[in-house]
Structure 1
């Protein structure tokens, strides 16, 4: 006989199955299309023409400062903005749907009637989201690395693994923001808006703050900077940034769990 926690986990994964398939397929197709365009872009010389027409400051802000190289192309077109943003949005929408959305709709009432603590229900739902993020990230990593090898791009396996890992952890941190918001009583919509806002503001600090001497110190508080500031595609895993992302996610989940255990659960 399965335990209540394993049943909650199984049901959570089943609920997000279609969403997970859609997000995974979309992100894998994005990765394949980006890497697949490299041979034609490299041979046409368009990347050199493009990079020469952009100021160094703007190019660095948007991750396209080395776009004519294989690693710079991969960074600028996939890992600098698109993949972290989309994976983060996947994380926050799934968390808010499985927690705040189900709570508002009254679908958590049956689970909460089981012989399991309320905090365990919410934590297990968060683990469902982590499972989905892990599956999607691994599929993206396999797609990117397989394509890199196929097109003989000068990008290391370790670099692809490192940047995919930090991008996934960035999404986990923002999933934690959404989870904490629901834990403190925000509904699905407000929690989603807050977490998405934190995601976007973090990117703006990471991209734009270094362009101004006055704002540059603010870049260091951005989770995007922790994940991507040291260019893990070239430099490998930034362990300090990984530690900050992991610690931030744990703190947010702990706070959200503490809060949800001490408030009334909404009914439909």
Structure 2
């Protein structure tokens, strides 16, 4: 396997510390937010907080369903802090493996050793996918452990569906970073592309939540594809499949882009 997947194995070996750090951050965020739900629900402070916020802000943050365990977990973690942590991590990973490697000269050296460009792209993506899978497992298991103590009353299958949706958004940003790096050979372009996808998706969804006349706008947002079907309440949706489908399409485009472009160290 070492001969078959050298780029993947090196990516996992070089990135395990960073992956572990991101996992710790996700566990910390979950441990901070989810256990607060019972205290909000029993003393009425959640309703007081909601009443003090502008309706536009409530709609933007998705706090309109925060009175339920599923709505609370979605609004505080999956739709906000968890989303931010995952897409920051995967954007950095996607930008580094092609754009960053080309800037440092590593990509040219690897290709000189007989690794095909398509193979290099796919192996790099596989390493990112395995790291993302690890983060998803950490998220799912942590929520499962906190579910009963936090009185969220979440179904295990729905936790898995929401985690798949979150990882899909991370994969989308990583693929965008891979494609931009393959097209330009610059790390900053990959970061801009991955971050741009995340900000675009969140902003378009926020705009769609401001008015019933603008609800059609959410069809343009990958964030809405992942979450508008309320996976924590309803399970897997076609929107989640669409996010993963676009991610794979961007990955294929990245492989083709790197294959057709001159690489300089």
Q: Larger % of helix: which?
A: 2
Q: 2:249 aligns with which of 248, 251, 258?
A: 251
Change (3 A) 1:214 1:36: closer
Q: Determine the structure 1 residue equivalent to 2:117.
A: 118
CA displacement at 1:246 relative to structure 2: 2.0
Q: 2:260 aligns with which of 242, 254, 262?
A: 262
Matched, 1:241 2:239: yes
In the alignment, is the contact (CA less than 8 A) between 2:95 and 2:189 conserved in 1? no
Separation in 1, partners of 2:210, 2:4: 48
CA displacement at 1:3 relative to structure 2: 4.9
* Structure 1 portions without partners, runs of 5+: none
Normalising to structure 1: TM-score of the pair? 0.92
CA displacement at 1:82 relative to structure 2: 1.7
CA displacement at 1:169 relative to structure 2: 0.7
In the alignment, is the contact (CA less than 8 A) between 1:31 and 1:143 conserved in 2? yes
Aligned-CA RMSD value? 1.8
Write the mapping of 1:119-268 to structure 2, written as runs, cut at 5 A.
Answer: 119-212=118-211, 215-238=214-237, 240-267=238-265
CA displacement 1:188-209 (0-9 Å, x = unmatched)? 0122012201210110101222
How many correspondences in the alignment?
A: 265
Change (3 A) 1:187 1:213: same
In the alignment, is the contact (CA less than 8 A) between 1:227 and 1:241 conserved in 2? yes
- Between 186-195 and 87-96, the greater mean CA deviation after superposition: 186-195
Residue 151 of structure 1 aligns to a residue whose secondary structure is coil
In the alignment, is the contact (CA less than 8 A) between 1:141 and 1:160 conserved in 2? yes
Separation in 2, partners of 1:179, 1:161: 26
- Between 62-71 and 119-128, the greater mean CA deviation after superposition: 62-71
CA displacement 1:138-191 (0-9 Å, x = unmatched)? 101100111012334322212211111111111111111111111112410122
CA displacement at 1:214 relative to structure 2: 5.5
CA displacement at 1:44 relative to structure 2: 3.0
